Amino acid sequence: MAKISQFASGADLSSRRPVTLCLPEFLVRALECRVAEANEGAMEIEKVTLEHLVEIELAGIVSLADVANLERVIPGISNAVTRWLIDIE
């Protein structure tokens, strides 16, 4: 498994970057079921993708205290989180 030794500085924290993950099949299937459940009966504009679901799930594990602590190491993360929250509404 690769280790992150340093973060890219000066990066736009609101930009998006593709990341490849290798997950056990049971997790992939479980995520696919959650996407199907979320989309059941939803209008086309309301449907979520696997990427949307993973993004929301990962964001859910980052607390306000985490963001405050990360601000020292990753300046601007608070603003990026605020913009993200506004955009998802």
Domain assignments of the chain as residue spans, ordered by start? 25-88
pLDDT number for residue 80: 95
pTM of the model: 0.73
Which single residue is written with the structure tokens 């020292």?
A: 72
Which has the closest alpha carbon to 21: 2, 38, 47, 48? 2
**Across residues 61-86, what is the average pLDDT?**
94
Structure confidence by residue, pLDDT tens digits, 12-28:
999 999 999 999 999 99
Residue 81: Cβ within 10 Å count: 19
pLDDT band at 86 (very low <50, low <70, confident <90, very high): very high
C-alpha distances out from residue 51 to 59, 69, 71, 72, Å: 12, 26, 25, 28
pLDDT at 7 over 80: no
